[in-house]
């Protein structure tokens, strides 16, 4: 795996962290892989570590190129700067698709809580739209959040206008052109369970298909729901909720098309032996490949 950090032009705190898998390992017979742009949550005031690198590693283990967007926070988010930065990130990935082994038609956003709001906005409002969205307990409608802090940060105004507030309530922005969506939350998450259902109903009203999971137990902000991202707290660990990642990968490939494989050996052992000038009479490549 290669790791690289690409800075957003003119902003020293905004960057795209790239976790790029070895091009020598192929999915099916195509080196081009799907990609997810991960938007960590944190109320647009900080970026949750639980929803950053651990999620990238988890998707990487499934053969998917992973990118973490570190976007503008606090008052730097005014003018919905994070949306502009996500738009830049998706465009950058497609621009470098050959170098980074990405299929340009299989670029997804993945976000949690406030990051889920951003990942969803990317699919509904950005110029460079993703091919699908994976949303974990997303903060869909910002008006529903007490004291409208997120709306104030994204508009840069203490008293946003009615039009600005409605624009940031994303269930109202769903159109027939909205990309495919996978979304999950829990029944115990009082912050997002109702607004997530409103988002699903907005898709239903447009005649769009989506996949929606409402797990019964689990607090807000559990990320992968396992020890890899627990950050010392057993409260966010739940083996049942943890299944969302596997389900999201299955869904992603159902959207992009299943992988196709050919039945041939991928062993490179015989090539290495030949380079050493060694002959092994009576030993066929299949036997060596299984050594």
Domains of the chain by residue range = 2-260, 265-291
* The pLDDT of residue 284 is above 80: no
97-121 mean pLDDT: 97
Sign, CA dihedral 196-151-130-19, equals negative
Determine contact, residues 136/150, Cβ cutoff 8 Å. no
Of the candidates 161, 115, 107, the one whose C-alpha atom is nearest the C-alpha of residue 140 is 115
pLDDT of residue 262: 66
Would you state the structure tokens that stand for residue 121, as one six-digit string? 């906005």
Q: How confident is the model at residue 229 (pLDDT cuts 50, 70, 90)?
A: confident
Determine contact, residues 118/140, Cβ cutoff 8 Å. no
In the block, tokens 């994070």 appear at: 82
Which CATH code, of 3.60.40.10, 3.40.50.2300, 3.90.226.10, 3.40.50.1820, is assigned to 2-260? Answer: 3.40.50.1820
- Relative orientation angle of helices 81-95 and 114-125, to the nearest 10 degrees: 60
* The pLDDT of residue 290 is above 60: no
Say what the pTM is.
0.90
* The pLDDT of residue 204 is above 70: yes
* The pLDDT of residue 280 is above 80: no
**pLDDT mean across residues, the chain:** 90
CA distances from 51 to 4, 83, 287 (A): 18, 18, 44
């Amino acid at each position: 795996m290669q790791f690289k950090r690409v800075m957003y032009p003119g902003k020293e705190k905004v960057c795209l962290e790239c976790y790029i898998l070895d091009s020598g390992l192929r999915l099916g017979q195509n080196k081009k892989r799907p990609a997810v742009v991960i938007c960590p949550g944190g109320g647009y005031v900080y970026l949750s570590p639980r929803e950053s690198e651990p999620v990238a590693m988890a998707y990487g283990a499934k053969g998917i190129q992973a990118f973490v967007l570190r976007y503008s926070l606090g008052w730097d988010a005014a003018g919905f700067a994070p949306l502009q930065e996500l738009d830049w990130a998706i465009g950058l990935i497609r621009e470098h698709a050959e170098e980074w082994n990405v299929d340009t038609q299989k670029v997804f956003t993945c976000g949690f809580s406030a990051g889920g709001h951003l990942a969803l906005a990317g699919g509904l409002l950005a110029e460079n739209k993703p091919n699908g969205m994976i949303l974990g307990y997303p903060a869909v409608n910002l008006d529903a959040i007490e004291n409208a802090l997120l709306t104030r940060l994204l508009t840069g105004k203490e008293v946003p206008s009615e039009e600005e507030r409605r624009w940031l309530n994303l269930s109202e922005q769903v159109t027939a052109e909205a990309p495919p969506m996978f979304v999950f939350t829990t029944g115990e998450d009082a912050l997002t369970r109702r607004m997530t259902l409103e988002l699903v109903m907005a898709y239903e009203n447009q005649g769009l298909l989506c996949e929606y999971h409402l797990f019964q137990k689990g607090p807000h902000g559990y990320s992968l729901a396992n020890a890899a991202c627990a950050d010392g707290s057993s409260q966010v660990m739940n083996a049942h909720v943890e299944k969302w990642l596997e389900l999201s990968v299955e869904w992603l490939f159902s959207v992009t098309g299943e992988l196709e494989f050919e039945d041939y050996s991928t062993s490179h052992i015989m090539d290495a032996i030949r380079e050493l000038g060694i002959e092994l009479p009576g030993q066929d490549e299949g036997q060596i490949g299984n050594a």
